[in-house]
Amino acid sequence: MSQPIILAIDLGTSALKVALVTARGEILACEQETQNVILLPNGGAEQNPDDWWDAIARATKRLLAQNRARAQDIAALACTTQWSGTVPVDRAGNAIHNAIIWMDARGAPYIKQVAGGGIAIEGYNARRLMAWLRKTGGVPTRSGKDSIAHILWLKNERPEIYNAAHKFLEPKDYLNLRFTGKFAAGYDSIILHWVTDNRNIARVDYDARLLNFVGVAREKMPDLQAPHTLLGTITPAIAREFGLRADVRVVMGTPDIQSAAIGSGATRDFDAHLYIGTSAWLCCHVPFKKTDLAHNMASLPSALPNRYLLTNEQETAGACLTYLRDNLFYPDDALKTPKPEGAYRAFDALAARVSAGSDKLIFTPWLYGERTPVENHSVRGGFFNQSLQTTRAHLIRAVMEGVAYNARWLRDAVEKFCARKIEYLNFIGGGANSDVWCQIFADVLNCEIRQVREPVQANARGVALLAALSLGWLQIDEIPAQVALQNRFAPNPAHRKIYDELFAEFLNLYAANQKIYRRLNG
């Protein structure tokens, strides 16, 4: 091959993708495996790490069987995964409990214990809050969905697991362990434990005072490396199992939000990207360290050397369409409605038949609470202003518009954070495959939507480009040129009035129903 080939592994919540990517970001081939989430009482959400590994093995073997590149041409391997997850492992590197993933909220009571008390600001002890903000740039979220909350839940509810754990690893760092046999975490993947001093982004390290705040022993945390550094080479057992060269190098890699920022091509400061997958975010690199506590977002160490990334997340986006498909339209129940092969393409066709605004039907997409621009675990989704004239097509378009209203709410907070207007967004994730949804976002956000080519592969492309950067095959300022656009969608002025009206009512629905949500779900 004329370029080095990177085996890029993208472990999402609902799907695992394995891709062969050139050092210039070209996707040669990709294979995918579906992933299941185990939902448990009291807000629990877990996955089996052995299922992750089995899926990687199956997908990689199918990928190599395509013969788009020879196994001996693969020079590097890099992983990107869902973020804010916890895998407790023993000294041999074996997972001793299911992975507790980013959706899990069972640690919320223990975050309240370690973060509250005394003179409080927004529910946080004032002195601890100031220390967290000064050193980390953020603070443990009260929702209990951060990695540190998972560890505290284990410590209090499963002490036998906590005591037996040699290290607590993020999903990306667990996969790196499986490939190399090395316990390590990245400056970026460790952030949501809120126990590191991030003020010098070239040298992030644990802080004894912050570890004392949460009561977690330093020896249970992995040593840290920069995300663009080389972790090592694959083990001989991996080389034999996957049929790879023994000298394949493993780069530290990065979580999904950071790899998406690279794979979207929006790597210059203030160039923003929108991701719509199971969850959603609207992020950009910024040249400063800053925290917006009111909207639960901050600029944190990026995967790129010496750069900050404005980080935020919305809990359910594409998951809302999946919910509509699997729970309302085609559930596996006594009615036995067959699920069509191309359900999402059919959704697009139906949504396109409905006028902008869905005849003023409004959907709120908070099916699993919300993180940004408000942190509220009790808020829930629903359809408002439904009538006898409401059809399935209305429901579909309203879901798409509701996710877009939520993104606009977040976009407004991001613009205030950056003190500048966002003129365009590079759009990635599964949602970006829908031209109908691209136009809805352009109209609701009133900005140009740039549909990235192969948007579902943005994470794999991003972590491969990071690997190429790490190994000297690419320069940072070359990254945007490696990401091609499929199409551009300009706002339709004729839809401005209806979407401004409905967005205002969307915000009113949240404000008016907060107390009801709290009573029902608090």
Instruction: Enumerate the domain spans of the chain.
Output: 5-252, 282-457+487-521
Same CATH topology for 5-252 and 282-457+487-521: the answer is yes
Amino acid 206: pLDDT: 98
Using the predicted structure, report yes or no on whether residue 1 has a pLDDT greater than 60. Answer: no
Amino acid 293: pLDDT: 87
Amino acid 326: pLDDT: 93
Amino acid 2: pLDDT: 66
Question: Can you read off the two tokens belonging to residue 58?
Answer: 């199956």
Amino acid 172: pLDDT: 98
Q: Are 254 and 83 in contact (CB under 8 A)?
A: no
* Residue 490 C-beta-side C-alpha neighbours within 13 Å: 3
| Mean pLDDT, residues 53-78 | 94
Residue carrying structure tokens 């009512």: 505
Residue 39 — very low, low, confident or very high, per pLDDT cuts 50/70/90?
very high
For the stretch 165-181, pLDDT in tens is 999 999 999 999 999 99
Helix (H) or strand (E) holding 55: helix 49-65
Using the predicted structure, report yes or no on whether residue 486 has a pLDDT greater than 60. Answer: yes
| Alpha-carbon distance values, 63 to 27, 79, 187, 353, 446 (Å) | 12, 16, 30, 38, 40
Residue carrying structure tokens 């690199």: 285
For the stretch 97-155, pLDDT in tens is 999 999 999 999 999 999 988 888 878 999 999 999 999 998 999 889 999 999 999 99
For the stretch 178-214, pLDDT in tens is 999 999 999 999 999 999 999 998 999 999 999 999 9
Residue 500 — very low, low, confident or very high, per pLDDT cuts 50/70/90?
very high
| Alpha-carbon distance values, 47 to 101, 148, 190, 472 (Å) | 7, 17, 20, 35
Amino acid 469: pLDDT: 96
Residue 419 — very low, low, confident or very high, per pLDDT cuts 50/70/90?
very high
The CATH number that domain 5-252 falls under is 3.30.420.40
- b/e per residue 333-351 (b: at least 16 CB within 10 A): eeeeeeeeeebbeebbebb
Beta bridge partners of 62: none
If DSSP codes are grouped into helix, strand and coil, which group holds residue 116? coil
How far apart, in whole angstroms, are the C-alpha atoms of residue 294 and residue 151? Answer: 25
Amino acid 423: pLDDT: 96
Residue carrying structure tokens 């005849």: 359
How far apart, in whole angstroms, are the C-alpha atoms of residue 273 and residue 425? Answer: 5
For the stretch 368-388, pLDDT in tens is 999 999 999 999 999 999 999
- Of 2-6, 21-25, 78-82, the one with minimum mean pLDDT is 2-6
For the stretch 95-110, pLDDT in tens is 999 999 999 999 999 9
Q: Across all residues in the chain, what is the average pLDDT?
A: 95
373: preceding bond cis by omega (within 30 degrees): yes
Beta-carbon contacts of 179 under 8 Å, excluding residues fewer than 6 positions away, are: 77, 79, 234, 235, 238, 250
How far apart, in whole angstroms, are the C-alpha atoms of residue 285 and residue 476? Answer: 13
Give the residue from 453, 446, 455, 454 showing the smallest Cα distance to 489: 446
- In CATH terms, the fold of domain 282-457+487-521 is Nucleotidyltransferase; domain 5 (3.30.420)
